Structure 1
Amino acid sequence: MNRAFQLSVSTRDRILDAAEGLFADQGFHLTTLRQITQAAEANLAAVNYYFGSKQELIRAIFRRRLDALNAARLERLDAIEEDDSRADLEAVLDAFVEPALEFTRGGDAEGQRFMQLLLRAFADRDTALHEAMRQEYAHVMRRFADAVSAALPGADRTRLRHQLDFIVGALTLTMAESALKDTRIIAAELVQFAAAGLRGSLDHRIPESARRTLEATS
C-alpha cells in the first residue's frame, strides 16, 4: 500500500481494512492480532484502544458494512410505506433483498471481500458473533417482519420470524454465487420464491407438536 495513502487514512480504518482482508482470507481463528497490526502498520495498543479485543474488532468490521446496508434497506422500506402503509409483499421483500445483492455485485472489491467474510462467519459457526449481530440489527428485522405481516393478514408472527431467517439464509447463499451478475433478475427471482413460500404457508398449518417446539425455541 502506498505510504502517502496510509498516512491519509485513520489508524482505526487501517486496522479495520487490514483485519477485514485477513479474516476473509484466513478466517477468524487463524488470523492473529500481530498479523493485523503489521498489515495496518499500527501497534497492538491501537487495537486495544479502538476495539478492546479481537472479538470486538470482528464486530466492528461487521457493523461498518451492515450499518450501511441496513440503512439502505430501511430507506427503501420507508419510501414504500410512505406511498402505502400496507405495502405489497413483493415490494417489501425487494427492499430487503436487492440492497444486499447490489452490495456484492458489479466488481466492487469491498463488497466481494465482505461477502467472503460473511460466509466465513457462517462456516465458523461463531454463535457469540451471530447472537451479537442478531441483537444489533433486531430493529431492522422487526421493521420488515411488521411490513410482511401487514402485507399478509393472518400470518403467525412466531412462524414468520423463522421464515424470515430462511429468507436470510437463501439470500446469503445467493450473495455467495459470484457467477451471477444481474442483480435485478436475481433479486426478482428470489423475491418471487420467498413471496410464494410466505403466501403458501398461510394455507398450511404446521402440526401442533411442531408448533409447541417452535414457540419454545422463539
Structure 2
Amino acid sequence: MSSRPPGAPLKALTDLDHRIEAAVGRSIDTLWKQCDRGLLDEPHTRLVEAHRALVQAVTGVTFYRTLLGRLAGGEFPVDQALFERIDRAVHQLEEAAGARDERQRATLSALESVEADAPRADVAGVELSARDFAALLAIARGAHLREHLLTGQLSVVTASGTRIPPSVLDRLERSGLVERDTAHPVIAGQPVTLTDAGRTTLTSRRPAGVAATASSPRAGAWPPTSPRARK
C-alpha cells in the first residue's frame, strides 16, 4: 500500500522534544527555522539535523503501525494476500523501529553535547541553567501556579501548556526573576510574572547556539520581545 494511512501525523513528536527545548531555550519549530536561516552554530545545527532524521523515523514507525491496524481491522478480506501484506508490514515496522532507535541515539548524543557546552546566563550575579532559562521564557508568555484539587500537587502551567515544577519556580523566585500574585488562591491559579530582573535576563541574553549578527533585529530574531507582565 503506497498511500499514507488516515491519521498519520505530518510532523511526529519525539521523546526528546521537551528536553531539547529545555536545553536550547526555545521551541522545536523556532530551532528548526533558525537552522534553516543559518543562525545556529555547528553543535546546534548537528542537533537539528539529527532531530529531523529522528522525526522522520518516528513518522515511519507510526505509518506502519497504522497500516497494521488497518490490515487487521476487518477492512480487507481474510485471504493469503492479506497474510502476506501483514507479514510485509510487520517486517517494515521492525526495520522502521530499528532506524528510529538508531536515530534517537544519534539525537541524544548531539543533545548531550549541547547540554554540556550550554553557557549559563549571569545577570546581576544570578546564574541560570538552560532549563531555567527555558522556564523563564515560558513564564514570560503567561503562567499560573495551580494546585490540583484532588492530589494537592503544585505546578506552574504556562500559556503554551508547559508544566514547570515548583522547584524551578522556587529557584527563579529566590533569584528575583519572577513573582507570584498571592492575592489569588492557588486552586484558582496564582498569576506568575517576570520581575524587571527577569525581563532583563531575557532581553539581554542570547540562548546558546544563536550566532550573533550585526544586523538590526527582525521578525523571528532572538531574543523575542518579552510581553508586558499582566497584573
TM-score range with shorter-chain normalisation? under 0.3
TM-score when scaled to structure 1? Answer: 0.25
Question: Which protein has the bigger strand share?
Answer: 2
Question: Which protein has the bigger helix share?
Answer: 1
Greater CA radius of gyration, 1 or 2?
2
